[in-house]
């Protein structure tokens, strides 16, 4: 029996939402806030929040994750993503996230790194028989939308077609599809011909994800797949203005100089956000460097060397100003 949730999606009817992808170790609250203030993605995702499995855990989510679950406001919905393995802890984690302010929840069914998360994330696709009860229980526990972010299969890219009825029957509101398999990790290219077939095979809104790194590619994938929306990850970190380029509010092509200006603008704003959040503590330097690491800067880019070598936040910020001055 199909369950129609009828819940209001976290984007306006008829809009093609451009979403900021969840990226563990990168898209923390400060990074998301810089995006929200600057290029306003239509929807932002939290990094995955690990649901503690142990039976004697008094709290399923860490204190830091609960702080991170609060919406950003400014009309940009936050979708909080959970990663876990067992039904009960996941349901309890969903309740804690909502008590901390989360409205929309998402289940990570794609993370390929099992060492810390055995059986979680993409590992869930190895136990498809457990999915109906887990998804239904989460659906019942979540007051706002409940969505999944999934790869197209564990090792078989056709597996997704057997999962679609499970998602529909459980009352999932939409799915974000990273069009690679779990075993593929980040190798090769995302295969959006599968995205197109998934869009045709389900009545659920499908958000296309994977390698949407330029206006040309994102537009082509949108037109060829009929996806309901697009999710940008590494491409958004490399070129935050990609959101605006796709809306026609910034030049279609990112010139090298404009990318450097964007990076300087982004990192300056991020240092300010971190200052406001953590003051002098909180390992701000390593957090700034984590963002820099996914901006696609080549190792021999001289202008970025002072940032990479910086030993203090002050030296990093001086490097940002040098970068801006040289752009
Ligand atoms: C550093 C990093 C961290 C990631 N962390 C998460 C995560 O927490 N949850 C998740 O669902 N996907 C995560 N992903 C996958 C991305 O959300 C996205 O699906 C993937 O990078 C493909 O999209 P892209 O080509 O636009 O980057 C991560 C990817 C990267 C590169």
Helix 256-278 vs helix 313-326: crossing angle, to nearest 10: 150
Q: What does the alpha-carbon distance between residue 9 and residue 207 come to, in Å, rounded to a whole number?
A: 12
**Largest pairwise CA distance in the chain:** 62
Q: What is the mean pLDDT of residues 170-197?
A: 97
Closest atom of ligand 1 relative to the 212 alpha carbon: 26
pLDDT value at residue 124: 96
pLDDT exceeds cutoff 70 at 282: no
1 alpha carbon – ligand 1 mean position (Å): 33
pLDDT exceeds cutoff 60 at 3: no
pLDDT exceeds cutoff 80 at 289: yes
Identify the CA nearest to 206 among candidates 217, 214, 194, 216.
194
More confident residue, 127 or 299: 127
pLDDT value at residue 54: 79
Identify the CA nearest to 191 among candidates 228, 156, 165.
156
23 alpha carbon – ligand 1 mean position (Å): 5
**Could you list the active site residues?**
111
pLDDT value at residue 2: 52
Q: What does the alpha-carbon distance between residue 69 and residue 282 come to, in Å, rounded to a whole number?
A: 18
Q: What does the alpha-carbon distance between residue 260 and residue 101 come to, in Å, rounded to a whole number?
A: 36
22 alpha carbon – ligand 1 mean position (Å): 6
pLDDT value at residue 56: 73
pLDDT value at residue 278: 78
Predicted TM-score (pTM) of this structure = 0.96
Alpha helices in the chain (DSSP H): 29-38, 63-68, 87-99, 131-141, 160-170, 192-201, 215-225, 234-238, 242-246, 256-278, 284-293, 305-309, 313-326
The confidence band for 74, taking pLDDT boundaries of 50, 70 and 90, is confident
Q: Which of 185, 206, 233, 296 to mutate to test the pocket of ligand 1 (most atoms within 8 A of CB)?
A: 233
Structure tokens at 24: 């563990």
For residue 278, how far is the Cα from the chain centroid? 23
More confident residue, 6 or 43: 43
Q: What is the mean pLDDT of residues 292-306?
A: 90
């Amino acid at each position: 029996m199909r369950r129609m949730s009828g819940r209001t999606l976290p984007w306006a009817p008829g809009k093609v939402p451009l979403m900021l992808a969840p990226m563990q170790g990168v898209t923390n609250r400060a990074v998301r806030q810089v995006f929200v203030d600057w290029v306003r993605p239509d929807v932002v995702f939290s990094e995955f929040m690990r649901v503690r499995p142990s039976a004697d855990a008094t709290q399923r989510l860490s204190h830091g994750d609960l702080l991170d679950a609060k919406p950003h406001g400014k009309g940009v919905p936050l979708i909080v993503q959970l990663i876990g393995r067992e039904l009960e802890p996941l349901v309890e984690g969903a309740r804690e996230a909502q008590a901390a302010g989360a409205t929309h929840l998402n289940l990570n069914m794609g993370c390929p790194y099992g060492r810390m998360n055995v059986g979680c994330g993409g590992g869930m696709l190895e136990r498809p028989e457990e999915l109906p009860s887990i998804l239904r229980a989460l659906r019942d526990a979540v007051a706002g939308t409940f969505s999944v972010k999934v790869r197209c299969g564990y090792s078989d890219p056709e597996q997704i077609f057997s999962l679609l009825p499970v998602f529909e029957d459980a009352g999932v509101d939409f799915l974000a599809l990273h069009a690679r398999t779990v075993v593929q990790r980040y190798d090769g290219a995302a295969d959006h011909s599968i995205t197109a077939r998934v869009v045709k095979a389900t009545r659920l809104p499908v958000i296309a994800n994977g390698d949407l790194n330029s206006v040309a590619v994102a537009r082509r994938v949108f037109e060829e797949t009929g996806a309901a929306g697009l999710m940008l990850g590494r491409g958004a970190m490399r070129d935050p203005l990609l959101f605006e380029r796709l809306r026609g509010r910034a030049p279609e092509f990112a010139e090298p100089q404009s990318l450097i200006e964007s990076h300087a603008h982004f990192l300056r704003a991020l240092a300010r956000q971190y200052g406001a959040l953590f003051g002098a503590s909180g390992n701000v330097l390593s957090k700034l460097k984590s963002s820099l690491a996914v901006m696609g800067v080549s190792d021999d880019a001289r202008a970025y060397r002072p940032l990479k070598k910086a030993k203090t936040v002050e030296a990093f910020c001086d490097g940002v100003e040098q970068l801006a001055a040289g752009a």
